[in-house]
Amino acid sequence: GCMMNKKLYPLGHIERTEDCHECCCSKGVMESYSLFSIPMTYDKENCKVIFSKKHCDYDVVQKDDPSKTCYSPG
């Protein structure tokens, strides 16, 4: 198996780890890729970015009301 973040993973393909990565473990070597991308283009004055571990994605929300999403092009 392979160790990542103090956790042992089995050999083969791991579809999703606890910290939102897709991995492949072979002979003690772990390759991993993040399942999320960080929004870069949004209204930084009125909005903020929060990470959702449940969805493995970032949400762009209004600073004064995080229940409302902000428009984030691209």
CATH architecture of 39-74: Single Sheet (2.20)
In the chain, % of residues over pLDDT 70:
96
**pTM beyond cutoff 0.75:** no
Q: What is the pLDDT of residues 14-39, one digit of tens each?
A: 999 988 999 999 987 889 989 888 88
List of long-range contacts for 3-11, beta carbons under 8 Å, 24+ apart: 3/30, 4/30, 4/32
Which SS3 state, helix, strand or coil, does residue 48 take?
Answer: strand
Tell me the domain boundaries of the chain: 2-34, 39-74
With a cut of 80, say whether residue 51 has pLDDT above it. yes
Q: What is the structure's pLDDT at 12?
A: 94
Q: State the CB neighbour count (10 A cutoff) for residue 38.
A: 9
Give the residue, 71 or 56, on which the prediction is more confident.
Answer: 56
